[in-house]
């Protein structure tokens, strides 16, 4: 279609070129254009956080980002988090703490946690809570998720001592 344009950006460290329509969202480009289905679509309106990815290192809802805005920028999805065959420390901690059940929210939670730990390697519990406030989970109740993230922060050299 003549209104499609070529979008170029870095995804998980790899240069990608995808044909996009003007109304495509980053989420469409990732899931349909690149087949990176680890990023989930829940609500599609920025409420659930299931589609969270990193854009230039910051957590964003891919369902709210027009694809054209990522031209020349860096995106990281859940597929880029682990170094195959090794899981990322956050993924290992989520498993150790049983921080997932159905797992639909998990990629988004992990990406929010990764964005937090990049910015603040030693967050307080409150900062962890705030970082994942936009990620809705219907299964786990969040305590295990918070414990997993704090454990990784501790492995980074010690979480902030204040419990709240």
Minimum CB distance to ligand FES smaller for 33 or for 42: 42
Question: Which 8-state DSSP code applies to residue 52?
Answer: E
Minimum CB distance to ligand FES smaller for 101 or for 156: 101
Q: In angstroms, what is the minimal distance from the CB of 157 to ligand FES?
A: 29
Q: In angstroms, what is the minimal distance from the CB of 119 to ligand FES?
A: 20
Minimum CB distance to ligand FES smaller for 129 or for 156: 129
Strands 74-76 and 5-11: parallel
Q: Tell me which residues touch ligand FES (CB under 6 A).
A: 41-44, 46-51, 61, 63, 100-105, 137-140
Minimum CB distance to ligand FES smaller for 92 or for 104: 104
Q: In angstroms, what is the minimal distance from the CB of 154 to ligand FES?
A: 23
Q: In angstroms, what is the minimal distance from the CB of 52 to ligand FES?
A: 7
């Amino acid at each position: 279609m003549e209104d499609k344009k070529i979008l170029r950006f870095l995804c998980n460290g790899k240069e990608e070129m995808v044909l996009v329509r003007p109304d495509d969202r980053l989420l469409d480009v990732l899931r349909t254009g690149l087949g990176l289905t680890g990023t989930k679509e829940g609500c599609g309106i920025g409420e659930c956080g299931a589609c969270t990815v990193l854009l230039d290192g910051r957590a964003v809802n891919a369902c709210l980002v027009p694809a054209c805005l990522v031209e020349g920028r860096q995106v990281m999805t859940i597929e880029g988090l682990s170094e195959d065959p090794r899981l990322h420390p956050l993924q290992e901690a989520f498993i150790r703490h049983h921080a997932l059940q159905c797992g639909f929210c998990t990629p988004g939670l992990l990406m929010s946690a990764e964005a937090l730990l990049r910015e603040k390697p030693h967050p307080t519990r409150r900062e962890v809570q705030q970082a994942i406030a936009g990620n809705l989970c219907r299964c786990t109740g969040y305590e295990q998720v918070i414990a997993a993230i704090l454990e990784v922060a501790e492995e980074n050299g010690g979480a902030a001592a204040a419990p709240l």
